[in-house]
Chains A and B, each alone.
Chain A
Amino acid sequence: MELNEMTPVAGVGTDGCARCGSPAYEADYKIKLCAPCRRDMSRYPVKRSVLWAAVGVAVLMLLSFYRFPEVFKARRSYERALNLEKEHKYMSAEQELLKTLQRYPESLKASAHLMIAAFHNGHLELADSISNHWAGVSSKEDDELISRVNDLLSSMKYYNFEDDSFAVKYTSLKTDTPALKAALLQYTQEQPNDVMAAYLLADQYYDEEDYQRSDSILQIVIKEAPDFHPAYGLLASAYREQKKFKEATAACYQLLNRNAESVAGNITLATILLKQHQDQEALKKAQAAYAWAPNSTAIMKTLALAYHFNNQDKACNEVLSNIRQSADTSGLAHTLDIIKGNITYRD
């Protein structure tokens, strides 16, 4: 509160400064004070205790500002990630959240959002490690976020066989394709709701070029488990091989609506576009996918094809060289055959 006062000051003199008695007081003021006295009185001393308290606060603020750049970057990354998540751009969101967690590795909120992003990006090991880290921790902070994480945990079960013993059998039969298919057929009859098994059976049919059977299984899988993302890419590929480009594109966009930065969605769409001679668009999609996952051989192969069909031979050769240097060179021969014209890739 501030109060106007006519309080007399010491040394009152009727014809001089009320404080020092000087006759040179300033006119137009209700209280007669000379200029030096007025200036002096306007500089009323701040209490020592207040000054010390201010110094204390300043020290705390200095400490706070010292770590400010790091804290600011972490929070900025977190806010960016939340916005990216709203736009379903999970690859970029994941990268931003990893930056936040470098500064705050124990942040439950950042971890929960990272788990969501990792799940949508198919980085299931990362999502799983986060869920294990926070298992049993209860929080009343954000009901909506926790509910989303719980939904996601339910969806993660689709990525495993319902019967653990079959997982062992499946691993042991991996190199014996006919036996593996027989086992999958028998298991899916016994466990018709096992999403993972149904998907792998559809994959088997796809490899055998029985695309119709593959897509009919995958349509059921997507209906039963819409959060099982690998099914969309395979369904789109099955449609593509049947030259059902409209359906294939729609399947890709179903996935891209869930994750606009889905590597599988973009790369499958790129191949569908290449088949339809929309080479420039295909290259854009392949480049986008490559930017998110530069070490993926599958992406590099599609990128090489996209460069090839866009007549960018130098870029194509660079990508092929990168594939040769990578650990996984599977499918390289097939890609080279397409580029050399030994295999007819499109009409």
Chain B
Amino acid sequence: MFIPGAAITAVTFPGVVVHEFAHQLFCRMFGVAIFEVKYFQFGNPAGYVIHEPVRNPVHQLFIGIGPFFVNTILAALIAFPAALPLTLGEASFIDYLLLYLAVSVGMHAFPSTGDASSIWNGLIRGENTPLWLKAITAPVVGLIYLGALGSMVWLDLIYGMAVAMGFPAVLMQLVI
């Protein structure tokens, strides 16, 4: 069944908001001036953060991939207490609501192709980028594009569900 990407994005808009917030957070951490933040809109892109060109190329990398960490951690945190009763078939309305939020947030953990493009332009084409950083960045950008490709086969949803439900299950096996 084909579901338009825009519809999926609309349904999972909390993830978009957190994704943009993550970019914003890393800009703030590195003292990068921000000109505009759009947390969510019906359109392409669904959200964006416009900031000044970054002086330190490492900062550019972290601003670009920041959502991967923030969205993943937040999704796991939201989901963990809600996912535990699910296996027992005893999840409440609040649990389901939190799981929806967690899956939405987890789904949007992957940096977008727009993010990949910014990282590529800022780092690979950057004059001041050291070679070792370029060597790290190139596969990261490759992975981002692979992730974008994977979203055509619901990789983003699978990742969101893995973080929201798989992670608590694995953790429980470790603590018992």
CB within 8 Å of B: which residues of A? 1-7, 9, 28-31, 33, 37-39, 41-44, 46-47, 50, 53, 57, 60-61, 63-65, 67-68, 71-72, 74-76, 78-80, 83, 100, 104, 106-110, 141
Q: Are A80 and B27 in contact (CB under 8 A)?
A: no
A78 touches B39 (CB 8 A): no
**B35 x A9 contact (CB < 8 A):** yes
Chain A CB within 8 A of B141 CB: no
**B175 contacts A2, CB within 8 Å?**
no
What is the CB-to-nearest-CB distance from A194 to chain B, in angstroms, rounded to a whole number? 38
> Do A107 and B51 have beta carbons less than 8 Å apart?
no
B12: chain A residues within 8 A (beta carbon): none
A25 CB to closest chain B CB (Å) equals 12
Please name 19 further chain A to chain B contacts, defined as beta carbons within 8 Å, in addition to the given A44-B37, A57-B101, sorted by A numbering: A1-B115, A1-B118, A2-B23, A2-B27, A2-B64, A3-B50, A3-B51, A4-B122, A7-B50, A28-B55, A31-B53, A37-B33, A38-B31, A44-B34, A53-B14, A64-B94, A78-B87, A79-B172, A141-B89
Contact partner, A2, options B33, B55, B114, Cβ 8 Å? B114
Q: Does residue B58 face the partner (Cβ distance < 8 Å to A)? A: no
Contacts of A141 in B (CB 8 A): 89
Q: How far is the CB of B62 from chain A (nearest CB, A)?
A: 11
A-B pairs with beta carbons under 8 Å apart, 7 shown: A1-B48, A1-B115, A2-B115, A29-B55, A31-B53, A41-B35, A78-B87
B88 x A109 contact (CB < 8 A): yes
Stretch of B78-86, B129-137, B156-164 with 4 or more beta carbons under 8 angstroms from chain A: B78-86
On chain A, the residues within 8 Å of B32 by CB distance are: 42
Q: A2, A47, A64, A100: which contacts B88 (Cβ < 8 A)?
A: A100
A2 and B172 form a contact (CB under 8 A): no
Chain B nearest Cβ from A231, distance in angstroms:
34
Q: Does B72 contact A (CB under 8 A)?
A: no
Is B24 an interface position by the 8 A CB rule? yes
Q: Are the C-beta atoms of B52 and A75 separated by less than 8 Å?
A: no
Contact B90 A104 (CB under 8 A): yes
Instruction: Tell me if B49 counts as interface (CB < 8 A to partner A).
Output: yes
Contact A106:B53 (CB < 8 A) given known A44-B24, A53-B17, A61-B98: no
Q: A109 to chain B: which residues have CB within 8 Å?
A: 87-89
B33 & A42 in contact (Cβ 8 Å cutoff): yes
Query: A5-B51, A46-B21, A46-B24 are contacts. A76–B175 as well, Cβ < 8 Å?
Result: yes
Residue in chain A with minimal CB distance to B44: A1
Query: A75 touches which one: B14, B34, B47, B172 (CB < 8 A)?
Result: B172
Please encode chain B, from 33 to 69, with 1 for each CB lying within 8 Å of some chain A CB and 0 for all others.
1110101000001011111111100001001100000
Contact of B35 (CB < 8 Å), options: A5, A29, A60, A63: A5
Is the CB–CB distance between B88 and A74 below 8 Å?
A: yes
Determine if A1 and B89 form an interchain contact, defined as CB atoms under 8 angstroms apart. Answer: no
Whether the pair B88, A75 counts as a contact (CB closer than 8 A) is yes
Q: Closest CB of chain A to B17's CB: distance in Å?
A: 6
Cα distance, A46 to B28, chains bound together (Å): 11
Minimal beta-carbon separation of A304 from chain B (angstroms): 36
B28-A43 in contact (CB<8A) = yes
B176 located at the interface, meaning its Cβ lies under 8 Å from any Cβ of chain A in the complex:
yes
Query: Is B146 part of the contact surface with A, judged by Cβ < 8 Å?
Result: no
Q: Which residue on chain B has the smallest CB distance to residue A141?
A: B89
B109 to chain A, nearest CB (A): 14
Contact with A along B89-111 (1 / 0, CB 8 A): 11000110110010000000000
Instruction: Give complex CA distance A6, B122 in Å.
Output: 13
**Chain B residues near A53 (CB, 8 Å)?**
14, 17
**Shortest Cβ distance from B81 into chain A, in angstroms?**
4
A114–B78 CA distance with the chains assembled, in angstroms: 30
Residues B88 and A5 in contact, CB atoms below 8 Å apart: no
Interface residue B71 (Cβ < 8 Å from any Cβ of A) = no
The closest CB in chain A to the CB of B23 belongs to A2
Name the residue on B nearest A65 (C-beta).
B81
Closest to B52 in A: A31
Distance between Cα atoms of A83 and B174 in the complex (Å): 12
Q: With A71-B85, A74-B88, A100-B88 in contact, is A1–B47 under 8 Å at CB?
A: yes
Partner of B49, one of A3, A65, A108: A3
Closest to A33 in B: B33
Compute how far the CA of A47 lies from the CA of B94 in the bound complex, rounded to whole angstroms.
25
Min CB distance, B53 to chain A, in Å?
5
Shortest distance between the CB of B105 and any CB in chain A (Å): 9
- Min Cβ gap B6→A in Å is 15
Contact A61 B78 (CB under 8 A): yes
Q: A41-B33, A75-B87 are in contact. Are A2 and B17 (CB under 8 A)?
A: no
Q: Which residues of A contact B78 (CB under 8 A)?
A: 57, 61
Considering the complex, give the chain A residue whose CB is closest to the CB of B37: A44
